């Protein structure tokens, strides 16, 4: 399947608002996403979980308890039950489809958190015409590849954890791995700062992969990643990242339609 290249065509380094920008507003809330959009962010990072009746929500945890005023496993609750919870006691949990539809000019990095997200994903992308403005990632390689097989149009894909480990520990893996990554549509490696060494970034670039580093919330971490050649940074502190990129002449805010 060919790669949906438009996702990565924004001038870099790419600035991702992690969970919408959790340093300023409740994570994965409408307030967070709206604030990042007002700052000029083109890329919003979020998570996808599935409810018992197959709805995809923008929510990180398996259980509602840490960030909302209710408890319970998301996958065991219907959307009606989940929608009654409030993030931080006041903010609604967004449906992924509503987010994609409400910000048609923005690009989303979507981390699939459970197997129930795979089947509904294609329908969500179809209804929102969002194929070329999403990147799909997951900590589960099996889940990521299953999602890729379920989609009938190309999307941007992050590489699997196994591919990240191969690049990290085996060094440059040559043309064979490059061909394999191209066949599955993977175009970026999304990794924590400990993995994003100069060598890892160099080897990833040699394989045709962009490197996005998460989740960097201090000036030292952000500047180090940029100095090493990272192609994108994910942060909770969307003001700090914006300011650092502006100082370096690398802030490219979204131009409202």
pTM for this model (two decimals): 0.94
Cα Dmax for the chain = 51
Measured distance CA(97)–CA(244) in Å, rounded: 32
Domains of the chain: total: 1
The encoded tokens of residue 204 equal 């990833």
Measured distance CA(197)–CA(195) in Å, rounded: 6
Domain of residue 241, residue span: 11-155+212-247
DSSP letter at 68? B
For residue 60, with 0-12 CB atoms within 10 Å meaning exposed, 13-18 middle and 19 or more buried, which class applies?
middle
Domain-embedded: residue 160: no
Catalytic residue among 10, 24, 60, 205: 60
pLDDT at 117 over 80: yes
Query: Which CATH number characterizes residue 42's domain?
Result: 3.20.20.190
Domain-embedded: residue 225: yes
- The mean of the pLDDT values for the chain is 93
* Count of CB atoms situated within 10 Å of the CB of 96: 27
Q: Is 18 one of the annotated active-site residues of the chain?
A: yes
Catalytic residue among 18, 24, 152, 212: 18
pLDDT at 173 over 80: no
State the number of CA atoms in the 13 A half-sphere of 216 facing the CB.
Answer: 28
Domain-embedded: residue 229: yes
Measured distance CA(189)–CA(127) in Å, rounded: 28
Reference 135, options 119, 151, 116, 114; nearest CA is 151
pLDDT score recorded for residue 183: 62
Give the orientation angle of helix 198-206 with respect to helix 161-169, to 10 degrees.
110
**What percent of the chain is predicted at pLDDT more than 70?**
92
Domain-embedded: residue 47: yes
pLDDT at 4 over 60: no
3-state DSSP assignment of residue 9: coil
Residues in contact with 77: Cβ distance below 8 Å, sequence separation at least 6, in sequence order: 51, 52, 64
């Amino acid at each position: 399947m060919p790669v949906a290249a438009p996702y990565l065509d924004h001038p870099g380094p790419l600035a991702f608002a992690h969970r919408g920008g959790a340093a300023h507003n409740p994570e994965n809330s409408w307030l967070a996403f709206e604030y990042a959009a007002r700052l000029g962010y083109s890329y919003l990072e979020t998570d996808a979980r599935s409810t018992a009746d197959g709805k995809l929500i923008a929510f990180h945890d398996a259980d509602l308890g840490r960030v909302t005023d209710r408890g319970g496993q998301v996958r065991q609750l219907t959307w009606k039950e989940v929608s009654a919870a409030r993030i931080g006691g006041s903010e609604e949990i967004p449906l992924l489809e509503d987010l994609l539809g409400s910000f048609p000019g923005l690009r989303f990095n979507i981390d699939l958190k459970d197997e129930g997200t795979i089947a509904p994903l294609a329908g969500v992308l179809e209804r929102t015409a969002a194929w070329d403005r999403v990147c799909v990632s997951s900590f589960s390689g099996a889940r990521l590849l299953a999602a890729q097989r379920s989609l009938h149009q190309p999307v941007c894909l992050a590489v699997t954890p196994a591919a990240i480990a191969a690049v990290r520990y085996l060094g440059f893996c040559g043309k064979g791995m490059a061909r394999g990554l191209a066949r599955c549509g993977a175009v970026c490696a999304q990794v924590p700062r400990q993995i994003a060494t100069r060598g890892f970034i160099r080897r990833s670039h040699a394989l045709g992969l962009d490197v996005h580093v998460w989740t960097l919330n201090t000036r030292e971490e952000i500047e180090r990643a940029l100095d090493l050649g990272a192609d994108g940074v994910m942060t909770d502190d969307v003001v700090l990242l914006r300011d650092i990129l502006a100082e370096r002449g690398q802030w490219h805010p979204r131009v409202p339609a």
